[in-house]
């Protein structure tokens, strides 16, 4: 699965995307974030306030308890304001 990073997450991680193969028990956005954090100190630091991180699974905005089973892309991004 491809994980995309946007805005300050992209800047803090110094990458816009990565290909990952999480284990079978990683089946929700929340578990994916936890798993990514366990593998990478920079990611762990960037998502310290996990409740602020928004997610989209295959281009659909979802909550952290949403399934990632069968997903090809998960996008993670901070809250954004617009004008």
The model's pTM is 0.93
Q: Structural domain boundaries of the chain?
A: 2-77
- Identify the architecture of domain 2-77 in CATH: Roll (3.10)
Collapsed DSSP state (helix, strand, coil) of residue 1? coil
Query: Can you tell me the distance from the alpha carbon of 22 to that of 32, in angstroms, rounded to the nearest whole number?
Result: 7
pLDDT digits (tens), the chain, 83 positions: 999 999 989 999 999 999 999 999 999 999 999 999 999 999 999 999 998 999 999 999 999 999 999 999 999 998 875 55
Q: Are 33 and 50 in contact (CB under 8 A)?
A: yes
Give the DSSP per-residue string, the chain.
-EEEE-HHHHHHHT-SEEE----TT--BHHHHHHHHHHH-HHHHHHTSSGGG-EEEETTEEE-TTSB-TT-SEEEEE------
């Amino acid at each position: 699965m491809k994980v995309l990073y946007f805005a300050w997450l992209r800047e803090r991680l110094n990458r816009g995307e990565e290909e990952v193969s999480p284990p079978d028990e990683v089946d929700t956005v929340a578990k994916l974030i936890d798993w990514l954090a366990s593998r990478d100190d920079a990611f762990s630091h960037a998502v310290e306030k996990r409740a602020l991180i928004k997610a989209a699974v295959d281009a659909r905005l979802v909550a952290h308890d949403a399934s990632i089973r069968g997903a090809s892309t998960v996008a993670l991004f901070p809250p954004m304001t617009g004008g």
